[in-house]
Chains A and B, each alone.
Chain A
């Protein structure tokens, strides 16, 4: 049970406090809405945007069903069909599924954690704008008839220049990467916020299970997205500049793309599923009227699932010619991943079995989920068996399975969540006369559409064909599938009508209409911009609190931070495990910077798309400059020492503590960056061992002097970073050390660029040279970003943001440069080792 806290001496009546907080936290009217950084506003926008893309992708899906409803259909020509089905998959996965689950996380997580906002509101806003612009690029390409047309996983060599010479593939590579920037930035934001910004007293064992799911999902995103980002960059570089990473005629290998794609693609299924499991684990106990069974077992299952999901990417590649023994690793892994999933299913069933379940609209969708996910899970185990997969690969059986596990496991919990939390957004409940038939239409339509595809697939219908002759025995199955698609669409249309009816005529609800136990209901409905007028203290497990009673106390300002100060947007930072408050986090106010930065990023992407490469580089530099500029207004320009936060507790501001959110955020960034670097190393070794023509290439002769020079310069830079930190901590000015660091990094960049210029064989002629250039380019880029860190340090030191107590900037720089040095040594070492590796290849029997 969460307890109400003592009234602060300076406590204010609820209404007055509301007005004061609103003046600080609210997003302004009119054009000022574009400056919004608040998680509620951004979360809602993401939700609406993702549903808009869902509608577009849904229409595209319907078009494919119209085309396939009858044999020899001329509804679409093949080229149009290719674009339509590619965009259906790409939009559903990249523009709807991932952003939609993120929008739920963005909107709900701070509220469920009992905090006021995320740790980096400007990053949230930047992430949203990147998503919107990236999605818009893809949508405009579709309208213009130049949309991607190589399938949603863009396999090479089909997507390479030779077979797709237009900009279709570039649209996918650049647009999707742009959207991934958004996903990655939000994932980091979520990890930091869950670990550092929970309500005081909410230790890890008291954390709502929803937050555990979202935490693990966000961590998975941090590791899962970089391989695809790297793959997209390498393929775009191949298409734009001719570096042949995936071209077997020049020492590349098309299968490298499949590895990089599925290293992302398989975990992505769980990245979509886990947040929906979070929804189920939150909703089911509420409707079962009892706490969730097996909280600890579920936490273990989530961790297991997260790891196992990364180790089974090759089950998408069972037919590419990998030896049986290696296939068996992935086959066994694919089967075993069902176990932690089953642990959750049984925990939900046990919760229902031991509780007193009541039925309402969300539970209808929970029922739908159970039915559909179990079918999808079982066909997944079938496909995990190599002999069966060889038979069913690239048939409609796989399409059916994929829709059951991704679409079904996403759509039904999503709609359960939709009906469950909509009263929080609107203050009204659904109109049952519409929502119940809507459910049945969606449920029946879904199964009619996709269950029959199992049979079509078993009868041998390949996926992605634009028509068929009519004598294969697929006619009536395809017709019924298409009919089911229309039934499902009618269901979704009814659901949209239900939403509008609810907004206008829905019955007004009291606070916490479902009798929930999580903190998002301990606030006004719909939520205010500041979420909580004061921050609650969680005394026991959060899944057992009574939000209704707590809400009144919090609204009166009887929790932490129950008053305003200096016009600051204040939130609390806590110890990661215990939840003891340890810092006051001052969040930035609304600003147009995220929008401007995203616009410039979009300009860089568009310039790249239209092959204005120098212009693109310029915009990329401006984007980085804007990040440095944004950092100039972060933090506080003087020392404050411990400040009162209520309940007799004083904590320092986040600028004066060691484990500020930015520190954890940089660690998350480096984990993502390290994954990308590891993927690059994997790519290098993969090509070395698998790609043809490496032994016949000109033997590389990397310059040892330049390599050692670059590494020595990076060592000097890290030493300078340490010197600047020591000097600033002692109260001195670190300008000299910072200048030395900049000089050293410039030397490192010069040495690396010189090496790139002298790479043999020519990077455009052979993948051996291309991989060396990529490794050296990685070092150059990181040294360049190191310079930006140092420039920011100088500017912020001059502006008074650095003092002996406030040295976080310098610590961040040191961490970045340490990372740059470590990866630099590895990259340079590998470049120097390449000749020996090629020689070893030549000695093969």
Chain B
């Protein structure tokens, strides 16, 4: 078979086809949820549409969570960004009977004792919101943009240890992502591997 014309055509077409399309990070829509805070007031994600929302999975018994609350690192972040109009929702998805699960009273106590600064500490004992986001760790961080798309998912920072001494020398991914988002830049590191305790689901 004379393949010369085929090869010529294929070759010339293939030669012009040097394409390099960089795929943008795909942001899927953030699943909606409605969870009560310690006072029983429901908070749903949809009511915060139009704002940046940070989701933080929480377990006060977990050494990795204590790492960031013990020295006030997490409270500082919460204060800094809620003052810039970011909504910060801390979620406890641990099932009743597991360590880290909080009754409304306990939740209020922890929030007061730790002087937390989030918009709301939400109780998810059924693990509905946790499972919807596939949250596997505490802390596990998610950032949602004003259009309701997930723009960051992963760890709080770059050093996967329970040692608070590592905080100053680590990169806080959530801070970087929020600063980039708020100044209209694309997020340089949209996915990282979260570290910490596992969420104790039902």
Report if A and B associate in a common complex: no
Interface residues of B (CB under 8 A from A): none
